[in-house]
Amino acid sequence: MTRKLSITADGKNIVVHLHHGDLPANVAFEGAIAVDSETMGLSLVRDPLCLVQLSDGRGEAHLVQLNRANYDAPNLKRVLSDAATLKLFHFARFDVAMFMRDLSVVCAPIYCTKIASKLVRTYTDKHGLKDLTKEVLGRDISKDQQSSDWGAPELSDAQLAYAASDVLHLHALKERLDAMLAREGRTEIAQACFDFLPTRAALDLAGWEETDIFAHS
């Protein structure tokens, strides 16, 4: 079953598709895919994965409301684990760990706009998606629904619009951040960080979330 919602973002009509259980087999993406997730909280031990959002930046967003009884979503898992498709995240470390834990997939290759931002926007400590999108793209996004009940059986239109908004700007952010990384000579170190993210997520899940294993003490 699929539910549709039309929203406006940056003066453009965006169609949001909500799918239950899995991504339909006939949904196809072109190029890099922006990815995000919604959970019941930020604990990798306690809080379940509820929703996964995807967009290839071409005017649509696909949201998958997962069946938390079994997380049986083969089409979604195939897309997330496709080694030929770049996945764009903001704070990939958390999402990738959630996908490892609940979907049993290793998500790669990865690009993380938060890591890129921290490597080039060293003049600020504001690296959240809202602040980054405002400064780099001049676009305002709402975070009003961030702390809502994502485990509810029926998600509201406001929740769907919010969830979709988190994947609608990542392609444009990547383009701008790539230019800044190149300008500052940090493209290679950024790529090394992106490549390390699945290992970082695995360390988090294994109990080293707060421990810096590279520190002297």
Query: Is the pLDDT assigned to residue 66 strictly greater than 90?
Result: yes
Q: What is the pLDDT of residues 80-124, one digit of tens each?
A: 999 999 999 999 999 999 999 999 999 999 999 999 999 999 999
Contact (Cβ atoms closer than 8 angstroms) between residue 161 and residue 16: yes
Question: Angle at the Cα of 93 (from 7 to 155), degrees rounded to 5?
Answer: 30
pLDDT at position 9 is: 77
Q: What is the pLDDT of residues 134-153, one digit of tens each?
A: 999 999 987 666 679 999 99
Residue 55 phi, psi (nearest 5) = -155, 140
Query: Is the pLDDT assigned to residue 172 strictly greater than 80?
Result: yes
Buried b (16+ CB within 10 A) or exposed e, 137-175: eebebeeebeeeebbeeebeeebbbbbbbbbbbbbbbbe
Buried b (16+ CB within 10 A) or exposed e, 191-206: eebbeebbebbebbbe
The residues, any chain, with a CB within 8 Å of residue 181's CB and separated by 6 or more, are 116, 119, 120, 187, 190
pLDDT at position 12 is: 81
Model pTM?
0.95
Tell me if the bond preceding 109 is cis, omega within 30° of 0.
yes
List the domains of the chain with CATH numbers. Answer: 2-208 (3.30.420.10)
Q: What is the mean pLDDT of the segment spanning 161-185?
A: 97
pLDDT at position 189 is: 98
